Amino acid sequence: MENTIIYLKRCKAMAKILVAGEIPQKGLELLSKDHLVEVFTGEKLITEAELKERIKDKDALLSLLSTSVTKEVIDQAPHLKIIANYGAGFNNIDFDYAASIGIPTTNTPIASTAATADLTFSLLLASARRVVEGDEVCRTVGFNGWAPLYFRGREVSGKTIGIVGFGQIGQAVAKRAAAFDMKVLYTSPSRKSPQVENALNATYVSFEELVAESDFITINCSYNPTMKHMFSTRQFEMMKSTAYLINCARGPIVDEAALIKALEEKQIEGAGIDVFEFEPEISEGLKNLKNVVLTPHIGNATFEARDAMANMAAGNIVKVLNGEAPSYVINGVVKETILV
């Protein structure tokens, strides 16, 4: 079969595992120790049609965040015992349907925390201090020398940061903000304990207050369909004209057309975007703007994080195939013993 690598190790009870794209070697080594592993290696993402064909005889699926695992895909795999998603998100999987037929779905949280928080601050600093713009100038037209009014940006130190979503990543962003003496506001579905707030010097506020009061807004929440276009025309009108929006969460949280308009009309000063509404497509309007820094969904793209994610996803598959309960189950299907 084209676009396939087969990892084969003979063992007493060999299971068949499909890995929907290439992952770090550490994860493959863990899976192939006792099982037959098939890895999709195509230059483009695996299609739903090809996924349906390859999954028919598989006992486990290691899906990528970019792999659409629909009900129709799941129905093609009568032997499927687990879907292990390589990514902290899981909106690419019909996990409710998987739960209805007893298939646990897992993700890889925590491993992404430091890397994503680092990138959040990278985009914040790069956009505020016009780093990418400056790099382009240096590589093209050059500059005439230091001047008082030349290439001014915004200081980050002492400003107010508003963090949307205060889970592991949001709290990690708050820790980094402390180094810049920033005032930390946050909004979240539930308020954190006084101990957490005090440790991070963070203040819980309403979403509306956060939008209106923050100099920098970072989106670090998980995604569900009710959050689509949480940031749209109304929110950009509420923001300070000197404010910056940073999104390292999920693209559909931001109305991309409204963001482009807000940046073009200087309703807000800038943005840093790692995820896109129509990903992997990026709106031409964003590409044409100087006051936005764009990165290609690399929030957790570090050697350390990606290795840890591979180990977590592969480890959950191994647990299930050994009759053990997996970790980080997101659809409520946890069994002490899972028959193989």
pLDDT at 43: 87
- pLDDT at site 89: 82
The closest of 314, 330, 319, 333 to 64, measured between CA atoms, is 314
Report which of 286, 250, 292 is spatially closest to residue 272, judged by C-alpha positions: 292
Answer yes or no: is pLDDT of 335 > 90. no
pLDDT at position 332? 83
The predicted model gives 128-135 an average pLDDT of: 97
Residue 190 in tokens:
């539930």
pTM beyond 0.75 = yes
Please give the residue that has the higher pLDDT: either 219 or 225.
219
Each residue's pLDDT tens digit, 70-88: 999 999 999 999 999 999 8
Does residue 9 carry a pLDDT above 60? Answer: no
**Cβ contact 71:48 at 8 Å:** no
Kindly report the number of other CB atoms within 10 A of residue 146's CB atom. 7
- Which has more confidence, 179 or 44? 179
User: pLDDT (tens digit, 9 = 90+) per residue, 248-286?
Assistant: 999 999 999 999 999 999 999 999 999 999 999 999 999
Q: How many residues does the chain have?
A: 340
pLDDT-derived band at 231 (thresholds 50, 70, 90) equals very high
pLDDT of residue 5: 61
Kindly tell me if the per-residue pLDDT of 151 is higher than 80.
yes
Largest CA-CA distance found in the chain, in angstroms, rounded: 74
User: Is the pLDDT confidence value at 317 over 80?
Assistant: yes
User: Over 80: is that where the pLDDT of 13 sits?
Assistant: no
Task: Give the pLDDT confidence score for residue 339 in this predicted structure.
Answer: 34
Average pLDDT over residues 176-201: 97
* Cα(178)–Cα(143) distance, integer angstroms: 34
Active-site positions? Answer: 250, 279, 297
**What local confidence, expressed as pLDDT, does residue 191 receive?**
97
Amino acid identity, position 188: S
Task: Output the pLDDT for position 249.
Answer: 95
8 falls in which pLDDT band (50, 70, 90)? very low
Residue 2 has pLDDT above 70, yes or no: no
d(CA 162, CA 187): 8
Alpha-carbon gap, residue 279 to 87, rounded angstroms: 16
Q: What is the pLDDT of the chain when averaged over all its residues?
A: 93
Q: Which residues pair with 204 in a beta bridge?
A: 186
- How far CA 115 is from CA of 107, 119, 206, 220, in Å, comes to 16, 6, 27, 12
Confidence of residue 4 (pLDDT cuts 50, 70, 90): low
**Which pLDDT score is estimated for 29?**
96
Question: Residue 334: what pLDDT?
Answer: 57
Residue 108 near residue 328, CB atoms below 8 Å:
yes
More confident residue, 131 or 7: 131
State yes or no: pLDDT of 6 exceeds 60: no
What's the pLDDT band for 219 if we cut at 50, 70, 90?
Answer: very high
Beta strand pairing status for 4-7 and 36-40?
Answer: antiparallel
Nearest Cα neighbor of 38 from 73, 56, 68, 105 is: 56
Phi, psi of 323 (to 5 degrees): 80, 20
> Taking 50 as the threshold, does the pLDDT of residue 340 lie above it?
no
Whether the pLDDT of residue 325 is over 80: the answer is: yes
